[in-house]
Each structure stands twice: as structure tokens, then as C-alpha cells.
Structure 1
Amino acid sequence: MLISVVTAVLDRAGTVGDAVESLRAQTWEDWEHVVQDGGSRDGTLGVIGRLADPRTRLESRRDGGIYPALNRAFARATGEVVGLLHSDDLFAAPDVLETVAAAFADPAVDAVYGDLLYVVRDDPSRVVRTWTSRPFHRRLLRRGWMPAHPTLFLRRRVIEAHGAFDTSFRIAADYDAVLRWFGQPGFRAVHVPKVLVRMRLGGESNRSVERVLTKSREDLRALRRNGVGGLGALALKNASKVGQFF
């Protein structure tokens, strides 16, 4: 089973090497790394080039931001399964892809996801928050639930059938996509009760109060357009994060 690991990157010379090395360390070797670079000028391409192998598929060109870049990378992916590895993140253990592949051994499974650690940007060994997910049921979407999306792997057929990221969203296109994918009748998702990804703090959605407010407005739009809920679901979604700090 070929797994396409997708990375969109722009000027992340300081972190992208950790991401690539965590992929190179995987015990599951049937993968391709689809890298979509937005025209980096800080040495990112040099780092990727030094760590590349025949499974690396790099394209560098200007894009309109992370979601257009990810959509382009999805279109270039050839694996049966597609997952993300953001340029600031790293796989938590060498057997992550092996674990994911085992869960996808059932051909009826559409998605696999696990748990997530938020870590200090300059020291990924220091954990700040833990996102422990739970088994999926469609009714959870109305309670503001979503999987730990940096850990999400999908059958490529899901993206082909139901679309990738809606680029009219600046910050919450991933949430909109999850609601669209997981809300499909008969959608089957498997939760692996294991930490799959270490995610550095400092992402786009929480860099400022303005972006937090933009994220909340976009989350509400995603909930309503997918017929999942409204302000109540948004409140539950935000409240669910509190437990991640304890």
C-alpha cells in the first residue's frame, strides 16, 4: 500500500528537516513524499534536497497559500492513502505509517486518525497539550468534535469523490473538509489510540486575537454549510480544548 505523505512548505529551513527525517525513519517503506514548496528563499529547498531520496516528489512554485498548495499536492499524489505532514511537525514514532497501513488493511475503511501532542517550538520533546481523540460516530460532529486533523490519513478516493480544501476559507478549510468527508453516509473512520504526530505550537490559527476570531467565524460557517450545527456546536468545539491542557 503506497502512502502519499503531503507537505506544503514555505521558508521553514529551521523545522522541515525534522519533518523529513521523521518520515525517513519510518519502518513502513512504501511511501512517497509529495512536497509543495511555495518559493522558499531561506534554505528550505537545500534542506529538502539534502534529505531527499527517490521517493521524494518536490515541486517549487508560487501559490496562493497553504490550502491551494495542499490541493495541488493532493492532485500530484499517487498513493492509495494520503496523509499530511506539516513542515513544523514530525511523526511521533518510527512505526506511525506501519500502524496506519495496518488500520487500512480493511478496504472499507475511509480514514484513520490518532492522537496528537502539541510541543514547544524550539524543543519538540516538551509537551504542552495532549489531544486525545476518540472513536468516530457521526453524531459527534454536532457536538463540535473533530479528529486530530494533523494525524488524519484518507483514502485518496474520498478526496476525489468529495473534494479537497475549499480555498475560500483562510484558516478553517481543514475543519470544513473534515465535516464534509466525515459527514458522508456510511463513512468509516478508525481511531488509533496512539500518538502519531508531534505538532509545534505557533500555527496560523492562533497567532493573534484577530486570527482566533477569524477562525471562529470560519468554523461557524463550516458548521452551517455542512448542515452540522451552529453556535452550540462551535461552543462545544472550543470548550473541548480545555481538557487538552491537563
Structure 2
Amino acid sequence: MAEDTKFLLLSLLLSSSSSLCFGSEQDIQCLRSVQQSVIDPLGILKSSWNFGYATNGYICSFTGVECWHGYENKVLSLRLDNLGLEGPFPQGLQNCTSLNILDLSYNNFSGPIPSGIAQQIPYVTSLILSYNNFSSEIPESMANLAYLNTFNLQHNQLRGQIPERFSMLGRLTSSNVAGNLLSGPIPTFAQDFSPLYFAGNRDLCGAPLDECPRSQRWRLIPIRLRRINEESSIGAVVGFVLGFVVAFYFHLLCRERILPCVFRT
């Protein structure tokens, strides 16, 4: 009986050790999705990312892939810079469950940065998308990347304003949006950053760049002004209704008490 117990415990231990060595199937699926969703004209990912030989930590030898430990399939960082990759923002990154660094710089990625990027890479501390052709606006959901220390979006085709909610990124130590098509006031989070990180955006203004014209300062708080206007409108309506009720009450009071006295006189 004792021997059977020892054998069972040994089996469980070996099983647990094997699971740790082979790591996360989700992370493997993440890399499969990335490989399938990008255009790879030079065939670098196609030749390097070979999923046919599942050994301990085998994905850690893939080009651009760094693992937390060499003996488990747990992706720490994806450094896919300067590989000639094309297409939209890669898919499947939400399955890289412990991704800490994402570098897609110096490629030819295009289209929008996903609006749900914070759900795809929630634990990223460094996001580098520079020197691509990403377009549209900077998604406001980037403000939900609570662990973000640095982001680099320079030299893309991004337009619109830098989201004011970026002021919520308390860990942020560096941000670079130079060489885009951005406009409007820079949020207060960037006051201590180098002006070079915001240069090359013709209509961008405010610290650390030149002061905004008076006409643009009001753009900083459009939502607040809209709320104030809405609240003022509501207050005016409520005041009108209350005034009408009070006037009607006094009208009835006069009819019941004052008019009879006048007739007696």
C-alpha cells in the first residue's frame, strides 16, 4: 500500500514538472495567430517559427521571442522590429498571457491601432509601434494600460488629439508621438517630457511645445463644457417648472381669499 502511494505521488510530481516545462498552450496559440495574421514578405517568421517540434521551451528560440524562462513556453517579449512585416495590427496577442514588451517598429504595418488594445495586451510595460503606417486616432483605451512605462508611436499617420485620459498613466516615464498628423492641446501628463517627442505634428500645441492659441485652449475640456451646458439647461427647465407651480399656487390663493374680500368692499 505504501509503495502504491509513493508511486502515485511520484507520478503527480512528474506530471506537474512536465506541465511547467512545456508552459502555456495559450502562448503557443498566440504566436500561431500572430504568424498567420501578418504578411511576411521576407519569410522570416515562416522559416523561424516552426511549430512542428514541441519540446521544452521550443518557442523561446523563435526570432523575436523572449520567454520568462528558457524551459517554459511563456512569452515575456515580442521584438519583431525591422523584419519587413506588413498588414494590420497582429491578432491573437491576448493569448500571450504574460506579454511584457511589444516592439513592432520599423515595419510596414498599417490600419488602426485596435480600439480594444488594453484588453489584448493588459500587462505590457513597453509598447513600441514607431516607423510604421498606423493611421486613424490614438485609441483612448490605451489609458487603461495600467502598467505602461513607455510608448513610442513616432512616424506613423496618426491623427486627431492625444487622449486627455493619458494623464491617468501614473507609471509613464516616456512617450513619443513625433512625426504624425496629431493636432490640438497636449494633455498635462507630458509637461516634463522632451519637446522632441512631440515635434513634427503641425497642429499640436501646449507644453512642452509652444502655448496653444486661445481658440484651441477650449478644446481641452469639451466634455466638461458640454456637461455644464447640459446641467445648465436642466437647471433652467427645473427652475421654470418650479416657478410655474409657485405662480399657479398663488393664483389659486388669490382667487380663494383675496377676490371675495374685494367684492365685499
Same fold by TM-score greater than 0.5 = no
Larger radius of gyration: 2
Higher RCO (CA 8 Å, separation ≥ 6 residues): 1
TM score, norm. by length of structure 2: 0.27
TM score, norm. by length of structure 1: 0.29
* Higher share of residues assigned helix: 2
